[in-house]
Structure 1
Amino acid sequence: MKLKCIKTSVSIFTLGIFLLISTSVNAQIAIAEKAFEEAEKKGFSGVLLLAIDGKVVFEEATGFRSFEEKTPLLPTDIFEMASVSKQFTAMMVMKCAEKGLLGYEDFADKYLDIPYKGISIRQLLTHTNGLPDYQAVMDRHWDKSQVADNAAILEYLRKYQPPMLAQPGEKYEYSNTAYVFLASIVEKVTGRDFIELSREWIFNPLGMGHTDIRTLEEKAKVPNFAAGHLKDKNGDYINANKFHSSDYTVWLGNRKGPGRVSSTAQDLLIWDQALYAGTLVSKETLDLAFSAQILNDGSLSNYGFGWDLSEDPDFGKIVSHTGDNPGYKTLIMRFVDQNKTLILLNNNAHEAKDALIKGAVEALRGW
C-alpha cells in the first residue's frame, strides 16, 4: 500500500512538472503570437521563425509575395538575403583556409592586383580594413547600361584609386568592398567560379535546396520569389525595382561576395544547425569566426568573420547579422550558448519589424 502511494505521488509530481512546462511554453508562444499580430496589423509583410535545438517552435508568414498581384506570402517563399550573405562568403574563405589555400594574415594584394597594400584577409573579414566604398566609385564612373562584376569593380578601383578611409586595423567600418575582395580571392586560390563553388561547398551538401546566388533573370523565373516592396508617392507598395534608388541592384548585378544570396527561413535554419554540427569547418575555425577583432590600439571590435558579436546576461553569446536591400530587411540571430534561433525576413522594409524582433527575443528568453 505504501509503495502504491509512492507511485501515485511520483505520477502526480510528473504530471505537475509536465503541466508547468506546458504552461510556460504556451506563455512564450503567446508572446511571439502577440508580437507577430501587432506587426501584422501595422502592415508588416514577411516571415518570422523561432527555433530551439533546431526544432521550429514558431513560424508565421503574413503579407504579400507581390503586393501588385496580391499574392499571399508563404513561409516557404524565397527572399533576397542582402548582407546576411556575408556569412556565406566568410565560410568560403574559412574553408579555403582549412584547405591550406590561404592564411588569415595573408595580405589581399598577394592575390589581387589592387592599389591597397598591407590589408590582411582577417581585416577584410572583420571590416577593419579601411577600404573605400566601391559602389561610390562605380556610381560615379560606370556605364550603367552594362552590368558590373568583381573584375570590373577591381578595374575601377585600380583606375580611380579612391583613398583609404583609415589605416588597416585602425577601426571598424563596415565594408562591402572587403567582401568583393574576399570572393575574388576565393576564385583566385581555387581557380573556380565563386557561385559554383558556393553551391558545391555549402548549399548542396547541406540540402539548402532553395538557396542560391541568383541573377535578376534567374530570380524572375522563381515562382515563389518574394519581391522587395517600397511605397510610391501615393503610399502604395510597389516592386522596389521600379525605384531609381534600386538601380544599383541591376548595374552591379553580377558582383559576388557582399550580397546576392537568396534563401528561405527554413534553409537558414538548416545553415544555422550545420554550424553546430561541424560539417563545414572545425570548431576551432568557428571559434575564430565568433571572436572579437583586436584593433591597433588594443581595443576590441565586436565583428567576427561575417557575424556581429554580442553578449546577453540571459542568453550568453549571440552571433547575428542584418541585411538591407531595396524593400528587404533580413535578420538571423543565433543564441549559440542555448541553441536558439531567430530568423526574420521582411519584404516591405516595414518599421514594425523592430518591435517584432524585440517581442521575438523576449519569447525566446523565457523558453
Structure 2
Amino acid sequence: MRKALILFCCLPFMGNAQSNNIKLIDLYLNGEYQQSFNGNVLIAQHGKTIYQKAFGYRNIDLKLPLNNSSVFELASVSKQFTALSILQLKEQGKLKLTDSLRAYFPQLPYHNITIQNLLTHTSGLPDYLNQMIKKWDHKQIAFNNDVIDFLAINKPKLLFTPGSQYEYSNTGYVILASIIEKLTGESYNNYLKQQIFKPLGMDSSRVYNTRRSKQDTIANYAYGYVYNAAYKKYVLPDSLKKFDFVYWLDGITGDGTVNSTTRDLLKWNNALLSNKLINALDQKDMLSPHVLTDTITNAHYGYGIDILKDELGNFTTHSGSWPGYTSVLTHYETGDYTVIVLSNNESNAVGISQALCHILNGRAVVQPYRHQETNVDPAILDKYVGTYMFTLKIELVKRDGKLYRHLPGRSINSDVELKPESPTKFFYSNRADIQIEFELDKQGNVAHSYLINYGLKIEARKSE
C-alpha cells in the first residue's frame, strides 16, 4: 500500500507560523501513511481549504490510487444529515420535536418516545443489529421498513425509560429516516439529494444503500478494507464471515450510508455555520448541548453531532465507523478550523484528526516513525505491570515473558502485545500508532508513565 500516488494541495500565501504548521501536518500525515493510514484529509480555516491530500489506494486489489475527489462511506457522520432533515420538516410545520414515535409508527410497542429523544439518543431503543443478528436471514438484505417490522413483531424491551439516560442508538436514526420518508412521500435518498446535496453543490455525494441489492456502483469509489491477520493483508469485509452484516444491512439508511468526499463535506460544514439550509434558531438548536454524554470530559450531544471542549477550545465533531471505513468531521470555534479525515482501511481517523488540530494550534506532537523491536530482559517488565488511567483505564499484564495491554472487563482475546523498542518504551503490535513510555528514577522505579496516542503524549495515573 505504500506506492500509491499522493496528491497534495495547500494555499501558497500564508503566514510563517501557519506555513510551518502546514509543513508539520504534511510530515505527520506522511508518517502515518508510512505506518498504515489510507485515506483523504482536508483542513480548512474560515471555510477555505488550506490543506488537502489523498494517501494510498481507493482499490487496493487493482492498485487504483485515491484522489481528492474519491467518494467514501461516512458511516455515523451521516447522522447529522438526518438530523438537519428533521429540522427542515419542523420548519415546514410537518412535525414537532415533541411528537410521539407512535404517532408515525403505532405498530411499535414503545410509548413516551419523542422525536427529540431519537435525535439525542435518549430513546432507550435497543440496537437493531444486536437484535436482528440472530433472527434475520443473513441472505436477505434488510431495509428500514424491515427494521421497523422486526421491532414491531419481536418487541425487544427498551434499555431504559425514555429521556432518563443517554445511550447511542443507531435504531433511533433509522426511524428518523423513515419518518422523513413518511412525511415527504420521498425516499430518504432522494430527499437528501433534492434538499441538501443539490442546494449546496455537493455533486459527488449520495446515499449509497444499493451496492449489494442492485450491484450499483459509484465512480471513483473508495472501497473499504479490513486487515486480515491470517493472510497479513487488507481484504474486503464481504470476504469474511464475521462481517457478513455489511451485506444484509446494506439497505439501511439514516444512521449511515451517506457517501461523500472531503470537498463536499467542507461545503456541508460551511452550510451548518452559515444557516444555509435551516434558520439560525434551528441551526443553533442543532449545535447546542442537549444531553450529557460523558461526565469526565463534560461532553454533550446536540442533534446528530457531538458538542465538546478541550484545551484547544470549543468544538463540534462526529465520527463514523463501519467495516472498512472510519471518518470524522471536526470544527473548532477557536481559529475557525475544520478538519476532515476519511479512511478506507479503518485507520484511526479520530486520533489523526486530534493530532492535526494540535499542530494547527502550534502544539507539539510526536511525529510517527517506524518502530524496531528489540530484546529486553523479561524481568524488567514486572515493574510495569499494573492499572493505569490515561483517557481510559487500561491494565498492563505480563504473560509468557511479554507485556500486554488489557482492557478491564474485556476478553484476553482483545489484548494487544506491547513490543519493546527500548527497556522503557513499548509500541502496540496491532499497527496502531500508540506507544507507552516510562521514566525511571535513580532507584530504577517507575517515576512517570506516558501514553503516546497518534502523536499526542499524555501522562498516566497508576493505581496502587
TM-score normalised by the chain length of structure 2: 0.71
Letter in 2 for 1:328: Y
Is residue 181 of structure 2 the alignment partner of residue 187 of structure 1? yes
The structural deviation recorded for 1:242 is 1.6
For residues 100-249 of structure 1, the aligned pairs below 5 Å read: 100-113=93-106, 114-214=108-208, 215-216=210-211, 221-232=217-228, 233-249=230-246
1:101 maps to amino acid: K
Structure 1 window deviating more from structure 2 (336-345 vs 256-265): it is 336-345
Q: 2 CA distance for matches of 1:186 and 1:354?
A: 30
Q: Distance in 2 between matches of 1:58 and 1:25?
A: 11
Q: Name the amino acid aligned to 2:224.
A: G
Instruction: Please state which structure has a larger fraction of its residues in helix.
Output: 1
What does residue 275 of structure 2 align with?
A: 278
Unaligned runs of 5+ in 2: 1-12, 293-297, 364-464
SS in structure 1 at match of 2:180: helix
1:117-162: CA deviations, max 9, x gaps? Answer: 1011111001111111111222121122221111111111011111
* Among candidates 241, 252, 256, match of residue 253 of structure 2: 256
C-alpha distance in structure 1 between counterparts of 2:43 and 2:34, whole Å:
20
Q: Which residue of 2 aligns with 1:4?
A: none
Letter in structure 1 aligned against 2:193: R
- Cα deviation for residue 210 of structure 1 reads 0.6
- C-alpha root-mean-square deviation of aligned residues, in Å? 2.2
Report whether the alignment pairs 1:361 with 2:357.
Answer: yes
- Aligned residue identity for 2:257: R
- Contact kept? 1:35, 1:355, Cα under 8 Å: no
Task: Provide the rounded CA distance (Å) in 2 between the counterparts of 1:42 and 1:35.
Answer: 11
Q: How does 1:322-341 map to 2 (within 5 A)?
A: 322-336=319-333, 338-341=335-338
Matched residue SS, 1:56: strand
Matched-pair contact (CA < 8 Å) for 2:225–2:344: yes
Within 2, Cα distance between the matches of 1:220 and 1:229? 18
Q: CA deviation at 1:192?
A: 2.1
Describe the SS at the equivalent of 1:140: coil
Ranges in structure 1 where 5+ consecutive residues have no aligned partner: 1-19
The answer to whether the aligner puts 1:35 opposite 2:32 as a matched pair is no
2:15 alignment partner, SS class: helix
2:60 corresponds to: 67
Q: 1:348 to 1:281 in 2, by over 3 A?
A: same
Shift of 1:294: 4.8
SS of aligned partner of 1:216: coil
Corresponding residue pairs, total: 344
Which of residues 254, 269, 273 is equivalent to 2:266?
269
Q: Relative to structure 1, is the Cα distance of residues 236 and 294 closer, same or farther in structure 2, using a 3 angstrom cutoff?
A: closer
| 1:199-231 CA distance string (max 9 Å, x none) | 111011111011001211577522310011112
**Distance (whole Å) between structure 2 residues aligned to residue 301 and residue 121 of structure 1:** 21
Moved over 4 A (4+): 217-220
Find 2:306's aligned residue among 308, 313, 335: 308
**CA separation of 1:301/1:48 partners in 2, compared to 1, >3 Å: closer, same or farther?**
closer
In structure 2, C-alpha distance between the alignment counterparts of 1:173 and 1:301, rounded to whole Å: 13
Deviations 1:250-270 (A, max 9, x none): 212221211111000000001
CA contact (8 A) 1:172 1:301 kept: no
Q: TM-score, normalised by structure 1?
A: 0.89
Residues 89 and 257, structure 1, Cα contact 8 Å, conserved in 2? yes
Conserved 8 A contact 1:45-1:63: yes
For 1:3, the equivalent position in structure 2 comes to none
Separation in structure 2 between the aligned mates of residue 77 and residue 284 of structure 1, nearest angstrom: 34
More strand by share: 2
Question: 1:219 and 1:29, CA in 2 relative to 1: closer, same or farther beyond 3 A?
Answer: farther
- Asked whether the equivalents of residues 31 and 360 of structure 1 are also in contact (C-alpha less than 8 Å), the reply is no
- How big is the shift at 1:93? 0.4
Higher normalized contact order (CA 8 Å, seq sep 6+, divided by chain length): 1
